[in-house]
Structure 1
Amino acid sequence: MSNDVAYPVFRTSDPALALRTARRLIEFGCCEYSVVCAYAELSSVAGVRGMANTMPEGRFCGASELEEFQGVLFEDQPAFVVGVPASGLPTEEAAFEGRLPVEWEVWNLPVGSIEDAFTAAIGPNMGLINWRSLQWPDAPEAGFHGESKHAEVTLLFNTHSRELDEPADDRTVLVHIHSVNIDGRQRNEPYAHWLAARVGLTVIGSAQRC
């Protein structure tokens, strides 16, 4: 089993500019198998309603505590916690008590199908867009073969971490490559620098691992 490692290559307070910049990398590696996924942590009822109106194809999961469901069969757990489409969201605001933040996500959609709408809808909430199954080209002058398994681009919203554990007020673009860690040193880091340079960018921070 192999892992990826991601490097920040661009940061801005302008969400539209961040998306345009991410797309430059995606166009460099996009192929017929490429897909897009997105995720958000919605911290208010208004944010949930807004996302439901804009992105009804997503799935919403309310927050919960482990103790609530110990000994409770999966089929007996509240649908809102297990996950519901926009049409299944509670209508009463009181139903959101103890259920924020609400997680929202979509998986494996066609590239270009949701990115603009998501960027407009996420507002101040933390989240991300992830493009995967890209195809990075060979870099013979740098000594690297192309790759697809870990060829990804991520656009972070209101956080600097792909784990969404570092709140921020800007957006960050990450480029992903195959992780090859030898004696604590990331052997493939020069490949990330090479990829960023192909579209006029540069690595601006340290590696992020899963």
Structure 2
Amino acid sequence: MSNDVAYPVFRTPDLALALGTARRLMEFGRSAHSKVSVAAELCSVAEVRRLGKELPHGWFRGQEEYDEFDGVPLEDLPALVVGVQGPGLPADPAAYEGRLPVECELRDLPVGSIEDAFTAAVGPNRGEINWDVLCWPDAPEVGFHGESKHAEVTLLFNTRTRDLDEPADDHTVLVHVRSVSVDGRQMREPYAQWLAEQVGLTVIGPGQRW
């Protein structure tokens, strides 16, 4: 089993510029089977309701406490615990007590189908667009074979971390490659740098792992 490591290659407070840059990098590795997924963490009822209207096909799921619903039949679980699309979000504010932050996501969609709408809707919330099933080419001049399993591009909104756990005033583009660590050193960082350079970017910080 292998894992990936993601390197920041661009950062800006400009939403449109961030999306355009991420797309340029994604297109460099795009394949016929590439997919896109989006996710956001919503910390207020107002933002949940707003995105429920702007992204009606999104799936919304709230928090639950450990063992809170052990033994409860699926049909008796609250909609926010099971997961519900925008039109099915609860109208009663009490339904959100203890459920924030609410996660909104859409997974494995065709490239180009959701990126603009999500970027327009994300607002102040922390979120991401992730393109996967890409295919990075060989880079013989720096001694690396291409790869597809860990070929991804991520655009982080209002955060600089893949966990979406730290707010920021800007947006960050990440390029993913296979993680190969020897004595704590990432051996494929030069490959990430090479990939970034192919579209006029450069690695600007340490790699992030899950």
Using the size of structure 2 for normalisation, the TM-score is: 0.96
Shift of 1:66: 1.6
Residue of structure 2 in register with 1:92 after alignment: 92
- Give the Å deviation of 1:72: 2.8
Q: Which residue of 2 aligns with 1:154?
A: 154
Structure 1 position 15, deviation (Å): 1.0
Gaps of 5+ in 2: none
Once the two structures are superposed, what CA deviation does each residue of 1:111-135 show, in whole Å capped at 9, x if it has no partner? 0100011011111111111000001
Question: Is the Cα contact below 8 Å between 2:79 and 2:89 reproduced in 1?
Answer: no
> Amino acid of the residue matched to residue 119 of structure 1?
T
Q: Which residues in structure 2 correspond to 1:117-132 (within 5 Å)? A: 117-132=117-132
**Cα drift, residue 142 of structure 1:** 0.7
How much does 1:158 deviate? Answer: 1.0
User: In the aligned structure 2, how far is the partner of 1:77 from the partner of 1:90?
Assistant: 13
Larger mean CA deviation between 69-78 and 10-19 belongs to 69-78
Secondary structure of the residue that 2:6 maps to in structure 1? strand
Which structure 1 residue ranges, 5 or more long, are not aligned? none
Alignment of 1:209 with 2:204, yes or no, is no
TM-aligned CA deviation for residue 67 of structure 1: 4.4
Within 5 A, what are the aligned runs for 1:6-45? 6-45=6-45
Identity within the alignment, %: 69
SS at match of 1:169: coil
* Contact 1:80 1:88 survives alignment (8 Å): no
| Equivalent in the alignment of 1:172 | 172
Q: Which residue of 2 aligns with 1:57?
A: 57
- Describe the SS at the equivalent of 1:57: coil
Counterpart amino acid of residue 82 in structure 2: V
Cα distance in 1, alignment partners of residues 208 and 82 from structure 2: 29
Backbone CA RMSD of aligned residues: 1.2
Whether the 8 Å contact between 1:47 and 1:122 is mirrored in structure 2 is: no
Matches of 1:75 and 1:2, distance apart in 2: 37
SS in 2 for 1:192: helix
C-alpha distance in structure 2 between counterparts of 1:43 and 1:84, whole Å: 17
Give per-residue Cα distances to partners, 1:103-162, cap 9 Å, x unaligned: 111110000100011011111111111000001011010111111100000000111100
Q: For residues 71 and 27 of structure 1, what CA distance do their matches in structure 2 show?
A: 47
Cα displacement string for residues 34-81 of structure 1 (whole angstroms, at most 9, x for unaligned residues): 000011011112211221112111110012212422343444321221
How many residues are aligned here?
Answer: 210
* Counterpart AA for 1:43: C
Could you say what secondary structure the match of 1:165 adopts?
Answer: coil
> Is contact 1:196–1:202 with CA below 8 Å preserved after alignment?
yes
